Amino acid sequence: MRSIREALLGFSRAKTMSFFAILSTGFSLLVLGLFALALLNLNTLIRYFESKVEIVVYLRDNADTGRVGMAVEDLGRIDGVGRVNFVSKEEALENFRRDLGANSDLLQDLETNPVPASLNITMKPGFRDTLHVQAVAERAAELPFVEEVDYGREWLRRMDIFKHVVSVVGMISGALLALVAVVLISSAIKIAVFSRSREIFIMKIVGATNGYIRRAFLIEGLLKGLLGGVLATAVIFAVTEVFSRKLIPITGFTDRYYLYTVAAGALMGLLGSWISLGRYLRRI
């Protein structure tokens, strides 16, 4: 289409301005992208720790196997419960022995098995917070053959607070960064459009309709924003790769997020041009 050709020509004619606009968009999106990447990885870390959440229900030695079996089923049916594992006294002792490792010979002279049997309950993702875990723990504690229930209450509580703080700080920071990005990009575009104000005047004098002028500039703005988005995507990708290979593997963006970045750039370029141009088109 002629408009695209025009837009590309417009680029080459105002190389410095175009470059500046692309760089501003790219930089803003990069900062936002890296921020998102950080949050993503923080999330992954949180999920990892959450997956370690486990409710250990210690059973009395005289627990009836039938009733234990029923309890396993009942508990398994509670909303949010993932798996309920029965660990027998023998298995528990073996695990203990293994945990002691070199010091396992301490257990050699034992006459009876002091280690209790237990039910190890894991929660499904999304239910690994204090509220749900506590509910299940309390249900388990009501059972008559239960000695004790352990679910790392303090740790869980701190995790809850941490998640809450991360999400609030994340949202505020994200919003601020987005605002800064918008300001930066629109400034760059305003400058670019202003430097073309004479061109716009001449376009109007030879009889270009507002629509024609708008189309030309909007397409240019869109392309600049798109390229900025692509630039940011490339850098984020590079950062992810370098990190993962040289330091530690990190969670990267999925294809969808890269697409969002590029699309965000295009959108910002489009909007920025529209708003900056509006002022000039209203005059004559």
Partner 1 sequence: MIEFNNVSAGYAKSAPVLDGINFHIDKGEFVFLTGPSGSGKSTLLKLIYHDLRPLSGTLRVAEYNSRRISRRKIPYLRRKLGIVFQDFGLLESRTAGENVAFALEVTGASRSFIRRRVSEALEHMGLAGKERCYPQELSGGEQQRVAIARALVGEPYALIADEPTGNLDPSISREILKRLEDINAMGMAVLMATHDYSLLVDRDHVRRLHVSGGRLIYDGPTGSFAPEEPPVTGNDTPTVV
Q: Which residue ranges make up the site for partner 1 (CB under 8 A)? A: 2, 6, 13-14, 198-199, 202-210, 212, 284
**Which of 15, 121, 39, 113 lies closest to 74, judged by CA?**
121
Asked whether the beta carbons of 147 and 116 are under 8 A apart, the reply is yes
Of 198 and 245, CB closest to partner 1: 198
**Percent helix, strand, coil in the chain (nearest 5)?**
75, 10, 15
Structural Rg of the chain based on CA atoms: 31
Amino acid at 35: F
Q: How far is the CB of 227 from partner 1 (least distance, A)?
A: 20
Q: Rounded to an integer, what distance in angstroms lies between the CA atom of residue 227 and that of residue 276?
A: 19
Q: How far is the CB of 220 from partner 1 (least distance, A)?
A: 13
Q: How far is the CB of 209 from partner 1 (least distance, A)?
A: 5
- For tokens 């507002």, the residue is 210
How many CB atoms lie under 10 A from the CB of residue 160? 15
Of 41 and 210, CB closest to partner 1: 210
Of 11 and 27, CB closest to partner 1: 11
Of 8 and 106, CB closest to partner 1: 8
The structure tokens listed for 238 are 């590079």
> Residue 146 is inside which H or E element, if any?
strand 146-150
Q: How far is the CB of 211 from partner 1 (least distance, A)?
A: 9
Q: How far is the CB of 222 from partner 1 (least distance, A)?
A: 20
Q: Pseudo-torsion of CA 211, 267, 21, 253, nearest 10°?
A: -160
Of 95 and 209, CB closest to partner 1: 209
Of 194 and 257, CB closest to partner 1: 194
Q: How far is the CB of 190 from partner 1 (least distance, A)?
A: 19
233: exposed, middle or buried (Cβ count in 10 Å: 0-12, 13-18, 19+): buried
DSSP string, 70-131: HHHHHHHHSTTEEEEEEE-HHHHHHHHHHHHGGGGGGGTT-SS--PPPEEEEEEPTT--SHH
Of 209 and 244, CB closest to partner 1: 209
Of 17 and 188, CB closest to partner 1: 17
Q: How far is the CB of 218 from partner 1 (least distance, A)?
A: 16
Q: How far is the CB of 197 from partner 1 (least distance, A)?
A: 12
